[in-house]
A and B are shown apart, each in its own frame.
Chain A
């Protein structure tokens, strides 16, 4: 279970660029729950994922996962519990190393790196098996550098790597946003298969209303560093793309109203 308690983060505090990216976020995610997070640009959805992953330390609040308090853990220590796929296909793999070497790095996620031999026969045949299930014809190219693959192939492999050892939490940060539509569909299908098969607790940030409506069992909408909507269970199942678009339009109108009100006040009082 992932518990996020009153988590706040402000970037560049005390400067004109101050950004209150997370404002007292509370969120509890049950084991095996697949949560999709949507929101406007700069709403804090990626920041929330990075806070959980440990890319930075939060200003206040607490984060716990599988009974452990992660709040002060450095990023590499949290990786023992967390698998991640980034938006940029280049971020999740080491381009100059072979497919097999990349997978081997993932097969030892969270374990001490000693002088043992990573690429044994057993592991290599496992790699071949699992990679052939991707249906991308990569199983015969395990020795090739990963940099020679397409973005879609790299994201599929990153997903395989992130889930090779079953993580207590899977973080997907717009992992199809940089892909062409066909590859994006492939990677999404693969995501759905893996998350269902292994019953993974998952947080997925997306820009695609289609993905938000179709995937997961819970949908969270963020705006200006807060969670403004939380659809679960039957309510989540009923949601259609149009409902989400309508909700975004509401937020936009409220925003405009805020801004024109502020403008009026400025004109009157300043």
Chain B
């Protein structure tokens, strides 16, 4: 999926700068996916691949509502609610019906494909003619700069690009802070403990199944929010746009963990955001250097594979001892 800034260059502006801004903005938006995947994979150790469907669900809901002239804030909120419900569905299948977590996610994701087609009525919708969060941001940006372009360290950039970048940055800072606070409340602490040791939380009177359902709801709500934002950023929603979202998110989380190198909550959240942005930049650079866009998902998958096995391999080489049975 390419951002608006990747698609069109305007006169008098360096394409490099435009690409950079685009990659940063998309990186910030997709860090919502990273945060969602962080909740399911890291906090609950739940391999939730609903994300591929719920991100598209968020995009589809937002796009459909926007073309019907619904207020963009409302449309975006609806996307969050839709994703939240999809997540709770996966959680319910996995806990109350005891379906394997991976399979529960596959079932919901597959079902969502049809749901998304029904919501949109066709395989893609353009929202370029509608009032969106992007046009809001642009209006604020133009009003603040009183100009259509501004100069940053010798680079001329459009107010649109600058305001979209600022808006996505501010939102992700807000989302990260809310998440950081939430996971230290009584409810959030119980959720983290559920992922850590569910036997213990049951013994302390916590309904661990409800914690998982709620947690997956939040995770997929954030991911659907990313779908809604990217739709308004690039100007359209497509029924295929969610493919590979889980792997994107996982790659970001893994890069983030490598960057901050600790399990402390605040730092891991920051790390996931940084990982998403860095990953997006790497992708932009790779594409600019001539990587075939068709190979992008394969390269991403290989990257995640390498990131998952490398630590284990390094440990095995370091400890030079024969492998113990519980290694």
Asked if A111 contacts B205 (CB within 8 A), the reply is yes
Q: Would you call B114 an interface residue if the criterion is a C-beta within 8 Å of the partner chain's C-beta atoms?
A: no
| Choice from B186, B206, B263 contacting A115 with Cβ under 8 Å | B186
Check if A94 sits within 8 Å of B202, measured CB to CB.
Answer: no
Collect the chain B residues with CB atoms within 8 Å of residue A109's CB: 204-205
Partner of B186, one of A53, A75, A96, A113: A113
Specify which of A79, A96, A116, A145 is in contact with B204 (CB 8 Å cutoff).
A79
Q: Tell me whether B69 is interfacial, beta carbon within 8 Å.
A: no
Q: How far is the CA of A118 from the CA of B184 in the complex (A)?
A: 8
CB of B258 within 8 Å of the partner chain:
no
Task: Annotate B200-214 by CB proximity to A: 1 below 8 A, 0 otherwise.
Answer: 111111111000000
Say whether, besides A104-B189, A115-B187, A118-B189, A53 and B200 are in contact (CB < 8 Å).
no
The CA-CA distance from A89 to B263 in the complex, in Å, is 22
- Bound: A145/B196 CA distance, A: 12
The distance from the CB of A203 to the nearest CB of chain B, in whole angstroms, is: 14
Interface flag for B197 (CB, 8 Å): yes
By a CB distance below 8 angstroms, the chain A residues around B202 are: 75-76, 79
Give the residue of A97, A108, A113, A115 whose beta carbon is less than 8 angstroms from that of B196: A97
Nearest CB in chain A to that of B203: its residue: A84
Q: Do the beta carbons of A94 and B200 come within 8 Å of each other?
A: yes
With A and B bound together, what is the CA distance between A119 and B98 in angstroms? 34
Total interface residues on A, using CB and 8 Å?
37
Contact A114 B185 (CB under 8 A): yes
Question: Hey, what's the 0/1 contact readout for A84-108 against B, CB within 8 Å counting as 1?
Answer: 1010001111111100011011101
Answer yes or no: B157 CB below 8 A from chain A CBs.
no
Q: Report yes or no: B187 in contact with A96, Cβ–Cβ below 8 A.
A: no
CA distance A118 to B187 in the complex (A): 9
Interface residue from A79, A91, A106, A118 paired with B197 (Cβ < 8 Å): A91
Q: Which residue among A76, A84, A97, A118 has the maximum number of chain B CB atoms within 10 Å of its CB?
A: A76
With a CB–CB cut-off of 8 A, which chain B residues contact A93?
A: 197, 200
Which of A79, A105, A114, A116: most chain B CB closer than 10 A?
A105
Q: How large is the interface on B (under 10, 10 to 19, 20 to 34, 35 or more residues)?
A: 20 to 34
Interface membership of B280, Cβ < 8 A:
no
From B187, B204, B205, A114 is in contact (CB under 8 Å) with B187
In the complex with contacts A113-B186, A117-B184, A118-B189, A95-B204 CB distance below 8 A:
no
A224 within 8 A of B: no
Report the bound CA distance from A92 to B199 in whole Å.
8
Q: In whole Å, how far is A125's beta carbon from the nearest beta carbon of chain B?
A: 19
Name B185's closest neighbour in chain A (CB-CB). A115
Q: How far is the CA of A111 from the CA of B185 in the complex (A)?
A: 14
**Which one of A101, A111, A162 lies within 8 Å of B189 (CB-CB)?**
A101
Q: Are B203 and A105 in contact (CB under 8 A)?
A: no
Q: Which residues of A190-226 are within 8 A (CB) of B?
A: none
* Contacting pair B203 A79 (CB below 8 A): yes
B185 touches A105 (CB 8 A): no
Name the contact of B193 in the complex, choosing from A80, A105, A119 (C-beta under 8 A). A105
Q: Which residues of B contact A104 (CB under 8 A)?
A: 186, 189
CA distance A190 to B190 in the complex (A): 27
Q: Spell out A's residues near B (CB within 8 Å).
A: 53, 74-77, 79-80, 82, 84, 86, 90-97, 101-102, 104-106, 108-111, 113-119, 145, 161-162
20 sampled A-B residue pairs with Cβ under 8 A:
A76-B205, A76-B207, A79-B203, A82-B203, A90-B197, A91-B197, A91-B200, A92-B200, A94-B193, A94-B196, A94-B200, A95-B196, A97-B189, A105-B206, A109-B204, A110-B204, A110-B205, A111-B205, A115-B186, A117-B185
